[in-house]
C-alpha cells in the first residue's frame, strides 16, 4: 500500500484549471520531490494531500485513509510556503502553541521544541518575538513547527528557501534520518541541486505530471546530462515532439 496516493486529481480555482488528472504514488520511508516552476500546481497538490483543499475530481489517500481525515491529519507535519506564524509571540510560544495542537505536552513538548529549534538553528533566538525575525528565520521556524510531532508523513513546500547552505545540509541530514525511520517526506522545490537529493521525483508543468522516476532514471530516459536538462526536456514539450515508442533518442541523433 502506498503511503500517499493520488488518482486522477483535478482542481480548479474559479474558471482556471490548476491540476489536470494528477496521479502520484509515494512509498513509506521515501523522500519524494515535486519539481517545477512557480505556478505549476505544486502547492495546490500539497494542500490537497494535507487535506486543506479538496479536489473536484479524483481520489486522495494518505496512510490508507481518504482525505481529508482529521485523525490522519494529526499524524502529518505540514510546512506551508507562506509562513503561518503569530508575530506578536516569541518563537518558543509559537512552537508551544502548535505543539499543543499536535497533542504534545509537558516534558515531551519541551524536548521536541528544543530538538526542532536546534535542527533549524534557532535555539539562541527562541525568546525573540517573531515580528523581529527575518524572512529566512521565519522559514526555519515554520520548518521546526512541521517537525514537532515527529510525523509519519511530512509535507514541505519549498522548505529551504532563504536558508544558508550549511544549515540546509543539516536539514537534509535530518530528513534522511526521518525517512530511514519510516517517515514519508514530500518536498516541493524548483532548485535542481535539491531535486537530485530526492529518492524519486515527479516533474510538473502547467498542472500536469510530465515525468516521474529517480533522478538517474529521468536523466537516462531523457538522454540528457543532468537533472536540469532533463527537466527542460520534460517540461518544455521537447519529448512530446518525439516518438513515445522508445525512438526519441534515436530520432534526435539521426
Residue 21 confidence class, pLDDT cut points 50, 70, 90: very high
Residue 173 confidence class, pLDDT cut points 50, 70, 90: confident
- The pLDDT of residue 239 is 54
| Distance from C-alpha of 203 to C-alpha of 198, rounded to nearest angstrom | 12
Residue 119 confidence class, pLDDT cut points 50, 70, 90: confident
Q: Which residues of 2-29 are buried (b: 16+ CB within 10 A; e: fewer)?
A: bbbbbeebebeeeeeebbbebebbbeee
Strand-strand pairing, 31-35 and 200-205 = parallel
- The pLDDT of residue 150 is 85
Sorted by where each starts, the structural domains of the chain and their CATH numbers stand as 1-69+187-242 (3.40.50.300)
Comparison of pLDDT for 230 and 254, the residue scoring more: 230
Share of the chain above pLDDT 70, in %: 93
> What's the whole-number average pLDDT of the chain?
88
Bridge partner list, 204: 209
- The pLDDT of residue 120 is 86
- The pLDDT of residue 185 is 96
Average pLDDT, stretch 183-199? 92
Average pLDDT, stretch 111-117? 94
The 10s digit of each residue's pLDDT in 25-72 is 999 999 999 998 888 999 999 999 999 999 999 999 999 999 988 888
On the CB side of 177, CA atoms within 13 Å amount to: 9
The 10s digit of each residue's pLDDT in 214-246 is 999 999 999 999 999 999 998 765 555 443 434
The 10s digit of each residue's pLDDT in 70-90 is 888 778 999 887 778 999 999
Which 8-state DSSP code applies to residue 241? G
Average pLDDT, stretch 10-33? 94
- The pLDDT of residue 237 is 53
Distances from the Cα of 19 to the Cα of 10, 23, 28, 204, 240, angstroms: 5, 10, 24, 10, 19
- The pLDDT of residue 223 is 94
Average pLDDT, stretch 158-183? 85
Look at residue 248 and tell me whether its pLDDT is greater than 50: no
Phi-psi region of 198 (alpha: psi -120 to 50; beta: other; left: phi over 0): beta
| Distance from C-alpha of 31 to C-alpha of 37, rounded to nearest angstrom | 19
Amino acid at each position: 500500500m502506498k503511503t500517499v496516493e493520488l488518482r486522477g486529481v483535478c482542481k480548479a480555482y474559479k474558471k482556471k484549471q490548476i491540476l489536470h488528472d494528477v496521479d502520484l504514488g509515494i512509498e513509506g520511508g521515501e523522500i519524494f520531490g515535486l519539481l517545477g516552476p512557480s505556478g505549476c500546481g505544486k502547492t495546490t497538490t500539497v494542500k490537497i494531500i494535507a487535506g486543506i483543499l479538496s479536489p473536484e475530481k479524483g481520489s486522495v489517500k494518505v496512510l490508507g485513509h481518504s482525505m481529508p481525515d482529521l485523525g490522519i491529519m494529526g499524524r502529518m507535519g505540514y510546512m506551508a510556503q507562506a509562513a503561518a506564524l503569530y508575530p506578536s509571540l516569541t518563537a518558543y510560544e509559537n512552537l508551544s502553541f502548535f505543539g499543543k495542537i499536535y497533542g504534545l505536552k509537558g516534558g515531551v513538548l519541551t524536548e521536541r521544541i528544543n530538538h526542532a529549534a536546534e535542527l533549524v538553528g534557532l535555539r539562541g533566538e527562541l525568546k525573540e518575538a517573531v515580528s523581529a525575525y527575518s524572512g529566512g528565520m521565519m522559514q526555519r521556524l515554520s520548518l521546526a513547527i512541521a517537525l514537532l510531532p515527529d510525523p509519519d508523513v511530512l509535507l514541505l513546500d519549498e522548505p529551504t528557501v532563504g536558508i544558508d547552505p550549511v544549515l540546509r545540509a543539516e536539514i537534509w541530514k535530518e530528513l534522511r534520518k526521518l525517512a530511514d525511520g519510516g517517515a514519508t517526506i514530500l518536498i516541493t522545490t524548483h532548485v535542481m541541486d535539491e531535486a537530485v537529493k530526492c529518492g524519486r521525483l515527479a516533474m510538473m508543468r502547467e498542472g500536469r505530471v510530465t515525468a516521474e522516476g529517480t533522478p538517474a532514471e529521468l536523466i537516462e530516459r531523457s538522454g540528457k546530462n543532468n537533472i536540469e536538462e532533463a527537466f527542460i526536456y520534460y517540461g518544455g514539450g521537447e519529448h512530446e515532439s518525439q516518438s513515445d515508442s522508445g525512438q526519441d533518442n534515436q530520432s534526435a541523433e539521426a
